[in-house]
Amino acid sequence: MVSTVYAELTENGKAIVRGEHARKLYSEGFGILKGDVLELEDVEVAYLAYRGTVKPDFKGEEVSLEKLFQILERNNPELPLMFTVYQDLRMRGRVVKPGYRRNVLLLYTKGAKSVADKAVYVVGEETAEFTIEELIKWITEALKLNKEPIVAIVDKHGDVTYYEVKKVELEKKG
């Protein structure tokens, strides 16, 4: 019989899993393990709750998936977009972890034990307006971290389109 795995939500939008399940989830590419305590980022706990793997607990009370998203979105309004891309990549069998910014996911194409080699920049179709300077800055940042930059655009239907980004150098003429 499988025992229930509870994830204790913290005020800052993270979650904690304790005990035997912490190591198992960590071995599947989730969270950061410190002893027998696994710390999950918001998108990870949302995904695990959606899958039914964990039951989120906030201040001693089990919460529904809808309530979980309400709680987590207080700290991260980009969570629905991040969740859509995170879920899409996980469903494709990819190992993905939250990145160095709210709208970045790190993709591990060589498995969970490797180093992330791609940085996925997540934007919504309706909010996908960004300047060329912002895009170049993001590409440069990813390349400095030895990550291949990818832009993931989520449309209003929840479909994700991925764009591989190559470094472009613009020259002023004349």
The tens digit of pLDDT for each residue in 146-173 reads: 999 999 999 999 999 999 877 666 677 7
Residue 48, C-beta contacts closer than 8 angstroms, at least 6 positions apart: 7, 25, 30, 40, 54
d(CA 70, CA 67): 5
Tell me the average pLDDT across 133-141: 84
Q: What value does the mean pLDDT of the chain take?
A: 88
Alpha helices in the chain (DSSP H): 20-27, 42-51, 65-75, 79-91, 132-144
CB 118 within 8 A of CB 101: no
Among 24-28, 48-52, 55-59, 136-140, the range scoring the smallest mean pLDDT is 136-140
122 and 160 in one domain?
Answer: yes
pLDDT digits (tens, 9 = 90+) for 10-43: 988 899 999 889 999 998 889 999 999 999 999 9
The CATH number of whichever domain residue 121 belongs to comes to 3.40.1350.10
Q: Which residues of 147-160 are buried (b: 16+ CB within 10 A; e: fewer)?
A: bbbbbbbbeeeeeb
Nearest to 115 by CA among 103, 127, 97: 97
Question: Do 100 and 160 have their domain in common?
Answer: yes
Helix axes 79-91, 65-75, angle to 10 degrees: 120
Expressed as residue numbers, the domain containing 33 is 6-75
pTM higher than 0.75: yes
25, 43, 75 - which closes a domain: 75
